[in-house]
């Protein structure tokens, strides 16, 4: 019998845990943060109810690399461990603790887009598709062998909120697809083509400032890329900060707030004023 463990502290991870059970699997172990950690983290959830329902032993620890976590993985004789929706980087000791390894997901079509801020960058770069990759973790950054991928199309109107939801759905779909092969111990891995790899850097809230001397098309794309659940695109006019959540390129209309660029007018459809 293949024994599977899971590490998460957010809704996306819990949705994947549910998908494992819906696909006929059963978790033998779960690990999450202490109850008082990351209480303000977006999407933070608690695993107690789910684990109680299915009789899953759950360990709460402040860090995935703590010795008690490593000991628990070995004690439960896990074959595979999933780490999904988790910001702490797993140590080599954690990666080596399960018999067959650790699996994770990344919201790009690896080896494209290794790194961070995958959803905003996919829109900012004007890609016509992105996706989610299930892969085996190694000591590199998103460099491990691939289990499977799902492509997600991106249109000229896709924003971060749309893409975030599609990425979450793809995580669950990948989990359901993978569980039968995982349980049959028939999981196939293929190495990434490292010659095609690209790395996307992390983004900061200040990277959302709109360049008023730039193109209206770049500004509109920025608004879509960093709208909710991200901090938003903004412009500072006469000392007032405007955070723009939705916008469209139109001809100027009297009485409507927007931003003028050399090549067009960006009408703000939804925005906040911060004084």
Determine the average pLDDT of the residues in 69-97. Answer: 97
CATH class of 4-200: alpha beta
Spell out the domain ranges in the chain.
4-200, 205-274
Q: In the prediction, which pLDDT does 140 show?
A: 93
**Main-chain dihedrals φ then ψ at residue 65, nearest 5 degrees:** -90, 0
Sheet with 258-261: strands ordered across: 233-237, 240-250, 264-274, 258-261
For residues 147 and 178, the answer to whether their CB atoms sit within 8 Å is: yes
Determine the average pLDDT of the residues in 162-168. Answer: 97
> How long, in residues, is the chain?
275
Q: In the prediction, which pLDDT does 60 show?
A: 97
Determine the average pLDDT of the residues in 138-167. Answer: 97
Q: At what angle do helices 160-183 and 11-22 cross, to 10 degrees?
A: 40
pLDDT tens digits, one per residue of 85-138? 998 999 999 999 999 999 999 999 999 999 999 999 999 999 999 999 999 999
- Give the confidence band of 257 by pLDDT, cuts at 50, 70, 90: confident
- Give the confidence band of 174 by pLDDT, cuts at 50, 70, 90: very high
Task: Please tell me the distance from the alpha carbon of residue 109 to that of residue 246, in angstroms, as a whole number.
Answer: 27
pLDDT tens digits, one per residue of 8-27? 999 999 999 999 999 999 99
Q: In the prediction, which pLDDT does 207 show?
A: 97
For residues 51 and 58, the answer to whether their CB atoms sit within 8 Å is: yes
Q: In the prediction, which pLDDT does 43 show?
A: 79
* H or E stretch at 95: helix 92-96
CATH class of 205-274: alpha beta
Task: Please tell me the distance from the alpha carbon of residue 154 to that of residue 129, in angstroms, as a whole number.
Answer: 5
> Which DSSP symbol is given to 262?
T
Q: Which residues pair with 32 in a beta bridge?
A: 60
Q: In the prediction, which pLDDT does 254 show?
A: 62
Tokens of 108: 């790009």
Q: In the prediction, which pLDDT does 246 show?
A: 97
> Which DSSP symbol is given to 7?
E
Cβ atoms within 10 Å, residue 162: 17
Tokens of 4: 């599977």
Instruction: Say whether pTM exceeds 0.85.
Output: yes
- Average pLDDT of the chain is 95
* H or E stretch at 18: helix 11-22
- Give the confidence band of 275 by pLDDT, cuts at 50, 70, 90: confident
For residues 135 and 145, the answer to whether their CB atoms sit within 8 Å is: yes
Q: In the prediction, which pLDDT does 38 show?
A: 80
pLDDT tens digits, one per residue of 228-255? 999 999 999 999 999 999 999 987 766 6
Nearby residues of 215 by Cβ (< 8 Å), 6 or more positions away: 261, 262, 263, 264
To the nearest whole percent, how much of the chain has pLDDT over 70? 99
For residues 112 and 197, the answer to whether their CB atoms sit within 8 Å is: yes
């Amino acid at each position: 019998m293949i024994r599977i463990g899971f590490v998460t502290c957010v809704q996306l991870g819990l949705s994947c845990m549910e998908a494992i059970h819906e696909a006929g699997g059963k978790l033998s172990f779960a690990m999450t943060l202490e109850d008082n950690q990351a209480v303000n983290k977006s999407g933070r959830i608690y695993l107690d109810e789910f684990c109680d329902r299915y009789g899953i032993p759950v360990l709460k620890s402040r860090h995935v690399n703590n010795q008690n976590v490593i000991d628990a993985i070995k004690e439960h004789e896990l074959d595979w461990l999933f780490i999904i929706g988790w910001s702490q980087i797993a140590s080599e000791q954690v990666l080596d603790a399960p018999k067959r390894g650790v699996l994770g997901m990344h919201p790009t079509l690896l080896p494209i887009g290794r790194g961070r801020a995958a959803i905003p960058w996919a829109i900012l770069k004007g890609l016509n598709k992105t996706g989610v990759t299930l892969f085996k973790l190694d000591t590199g950054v998103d460099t491990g062998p691939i289990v499977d991928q799902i492509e997600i199309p991106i249109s000229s109107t896709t924003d971060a909120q749309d893409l975030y939801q599609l990425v979450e759905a793809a995580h669950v779909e990948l989990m359901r697809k993978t569980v039968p092969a995982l349980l049959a111990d028939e999981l196939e891995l293929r190495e990434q083509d490292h010659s095609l790899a690209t790395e996307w850097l992390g983004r900061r809230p200040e990277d959302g400032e709109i360049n008023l001397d730039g193109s209206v098309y770049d500004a509109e794309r920025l608004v879509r890329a960093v709208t909710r659940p991200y901090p938003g695109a903004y412009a500072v006019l006469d000392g007032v900060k405007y955070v723009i959540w939705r916008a469209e390129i139109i001809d100027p209309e009297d009485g409507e707030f927007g931003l003028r660029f050399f090549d067009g007018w960006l009408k703000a459809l939804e925005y906040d004023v911060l004084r």
